[in-house]
Amino acid sequence: MEQHLLSNFEQILTNPTKSSLKPFSIARSLILNPSTTDQTISSIIQTLSTNPQFHLHHVITLLSEIPILRPHFSATITAVLRSLSLTRPDIPPRAAALALSTLLSLPPPSDSDLVPSFSEMTEAVFLSLCFGSCVPVRHRLLLEAEKFDVRASILLTVFLGFSKDPYPYVRKAALDGLIGLRDRIVVEDRGMIEGCYLRGVELLSDAEEGVRCSAVHMVSEWGKLLVANSDDKRKMDLSDALFVEIKE
């Protein structure tokens, strides 16, 4: 039965005259079955990786499920996902986001020489997706930004920029990201600190309640940092101003 299903999967997927979800259902049933042999799983991976032209998101979804159930395939899946997603300019945003999230959940490459280039590639894809046209993907990436290997200085700029996004749930995610980043990095540029603080102040009057709530937290956290980076006289004035902003 296993070989029969595998044969059907390969025949349907490799038939260029058909575009059906049936082969993905067959493949998933084989992947989820604990009795399926590693040889069959390897064949599925090979077929999926060499025929990604149809339903690329489904291909990446299936590939992403394999290391969860069979961790010993993690290295193979890492290589395939990198090939399919990080080097293809035509990959749909949702598929790229899923691939990137899966890659970051898997063990890092064993070859230490690959780690720097992998980190740089991940950062580039993260930024490309954030600035892409798919808003749900942008929102998800901002919410999960801590998982991605992106430099803190870059994240600070990204969060600050998207705090002015036209979509309120993206603005809120950006503010929450800035709040979280406040505790993870050391910011010595007073101008940047003041810019983050003032952005929070600006959004205290946002039309959306969720954004306003995050803005209150933002003003509080970055306001404390602004006070701490000021001279004694300025500290008192800023402390009073901070209290007034939050109270109002």
pLDDT in tens, 97-140: 888 778 777 776 555 444 444 555 678 888 888 998 888 889 98
Residue 88: inside a domain? yes
Which residues constitute the domain of residue 94? 1-110
Claim to verify: residue 103 and residue 194 sit in the same structural domain: no
- 106 and 157 co-located in one domain: no
Say yes or no: 101 and 190 in one domain.
Answer: no
Question: What is the mean pLDDT of the segment spanning 220-248?
Answer: 66
If asked whether residues 13 and 71 sit together in one domain, one would say yes
The reply to whether 132 falls in a domain is no
Q: Please report whether residue 243 resides in a domain.
A: yes
For residues 104 and 5, membership in a common domain is answered with yes
Task: Give yes or no for a contact between 222 and 196, defined as CB atoms under 8 angstroms apart.
Answer: yes
90 and 187 fall within a common domain: no
In this structure, the answer to whether residues 104 and 160 fall within a common structural domain is no
If asked whether residues 13 and 86 sit together in one domain, one would say yes
Q: What is the tens place of the pLDDT at every residue in 190-211?
A: 888 888 989 999 999 999 999 9
Statement to judge: residues 233 and 156 lie in one domain: yes
- Per the domain annotation, does 245 fall within a domain? yes
Residue 71 lies in a domain: yes
Residues 6 or more apart whose CB falls under 8 angstroms from that of 45 comprise 63, 66, 73, 76, 77, 80
Claim to verify: residue 168 and residue 99 sit in the same structural domain: no
Residues 106 and 163 in one domain: no
Note whether residue 76 is domain-resident: yes
Distance CA 211, CA 209 (A): 5
**In angstroms, rounded to a whole number, what is the distance separating the alpha carbons of residues 124 and 242?**
37
Mean of pLDDT values over 211-230: 87
Separation between Cα atoms, residue 31 and residue 66, nearest integer Å: 7
Residues 83 and 156 in one domain: no
Please state the φ and ψ torsions of residue 185, each to the nearest 5 degrees.
-130, 160
Q: How many domains does the chain have?
A: 2
Q: List strand residue ranges (DSSP E) for the chain, in order.
A: none
* pLDDT for the residue numbered 86: 64
**Within a domain: 116:** no
Indicate the average pLDDT of the chain. 82
Half-sphere exposure of 44 (CA within 13 A, CB side): 33
| 169 within a domain of the structure (yes/no) | yes
Residue at which a domain ends, from 110, 131, 162: 110
What pLDDT score was predicted for residue 19? 60
Summarize the confidence of residues 43-64 as an average pLDDT. 84
